[in-house]
Structure 1
Amino acid sequence: KMDMSVDENFKQQLTNVYQVHLDLQKAFLATDATAAKKQAGSVKSALDKVDMSLVKGEMHNQWMNSLKTLKTTLGNIESGSDIEKQRLAFADFSDALYSAIKMFGTTGETIYYQYCPMARDNKGAYWLSAVEEIKNPYFGDAMLTCGENKAVIK
């Protein structure tokens, strides 16, 4: 049987990535492309502090896949200046972060998995929030409360 237990330090480091990403989300809520660039850099720094040697075997491979997507999407936010393109990258980032959190877990967080059906040109997009109240990062003030809670991750 595969050992699916995850090192607590790894969980803590991933939790830190999630917490730092909340500031990136705020930049999108404010429809602020410049702040999004800056905050994407902060999330990258938090990602760089995650010690991949703490996860082994198949779990290590899964993390490497997640990491690649997380870094690519953050890079796209960092190098962009078009807020709508940055938001598309944030949608992909959020998908990858959700997958990682589902697989590895966090420490002491209650995370709301939220969904807006109108994002990504009506294809829909998800994001992770610390609060149950909907504050939509894909539209900001234009449609701040558009969306719904899909799940709660503890």
Structure 2
Amino acid sequence: MKNLKVITGILAMTFLTLTAMSCKDAKKEQNNDEGHNTEMNHDNSDGHHDSDKKEMAMNSNQDGNAEMILKDYFNLKDALVADDEAKAKEFGAVLKKSLGNLDVSKHTEEQQTELKEIIEDAVEHAEHISESPMAHQREHFKILSKDVTDMVAITGTANTLYEQFCPMYDKGSAWLSKREEVRNPYYGSQMLKCGKVQKEIN
């Protein structure tokens, strides 16, 4: 009987130790997720993700160039979230190029006209972002986000997107995200989670 109590005690201790360790690992993993899992590297979490997205885009008859614009837009957003002015400049320049490459020929005449106007405006803001300090980058990102949202309304998207909104920045400002979790590009580390999802775009 005494041996049984000892064995039961040992088993209970082992179980508690394992539980504590697994919780610790889960917490560490979650912290890593929150700290480093931006949408830039989230995209390539496995080897097939990008090709899967391209295939989805083709299967649903979406504009591949529009998907490329979104990818560059999200990289820019993540740089602003991270308060990284140099990266934001770099991705602003990349985005300017991908915006200029959008093929509008598969759309109706009316949509083509609208898309050309949207792209012209977006290119201007992407260019400003590529040359400006952080405060100005964020000002231009607000209007750029509206342009990209307007573009998606015409081109569609291969993935679910979330339109998020910060009531604090410039009397209220929106942006697009691939993740439901709010990471504010207008305030970065200052107010990282300020905002809410106001619309889901499929």
Q: 1 or 2, which has the higher helix percentage?
A: 2
1:114 equivalent to 2:167? Answer no
Aligned length: 143
**Pair 1:91-2:142 in alignment:** yes
Unaligned runs of 5+ in 2: 1-59
C-alpha deviations, 1:88-109, integer Å up to 9, x for none?
10000001100110122112x1
* Higher RCO, Cα 8 Å, sep 6+: 1
1:113–1:126 Cα contact (<8 Å) kept? yes
Cα deviation code 1:108-129 (max 9, x no counterpart): x110000001112xx1110000
Give the aligned partner of residue 129 of structure 2.
Answer: 77
Q: TM-score, length-normalised on structure 2?
A: 0.67
Counterpart position of 1:3: none
Q: CA separation in 1, counterparts of 2:142 and 2:157?
A: 20
Equivalent residue runs for 1:2-151 within 5 Å: 8=61, 11-80=63-132, 82-107=133-158, 109-120=159-170, 123-151=171-199
Q: Distance between the aligned counterparts of 1:149 and 1:21, measured in 2? A: 18
Q: Give ranges in structure 1 of 5+ residues lacking alignment.
A: 1-6
- Over aligned residue pairs, what C-alpha RMSD do you find? 1.4
CA distance, structure 2, for counterparts of residue 60 and residue 87 of structure 1:
28
Is this contact kept in 2: 1:132–1:149, CA < 8 A? yes
**How far did 1:54 drift?**
2.7
- For the 8 Å contact 2:100–2:123, the answer to whether it is kept is no
Q: Equivalents in 1 of 2:199, 2:130: separation in Å?
A: 29
Give the C-alpha shift of residue 15 in structure 1: 1.5
Letter of the 1:8 counterpart: N
TM-score, normalised to structure 1, is: 0.87
Within 2, Cα distance between the matches of 1:79 and 1:54? 33
Question: 3-state DSSP class of the match of 2:184?
Answer: coil
1-side partners of 2:98 and 2:120: how far apart? Answer: 14
Contact 2:129 2:140 in 1 (8 A): yes
SS at match of 1:8: coil
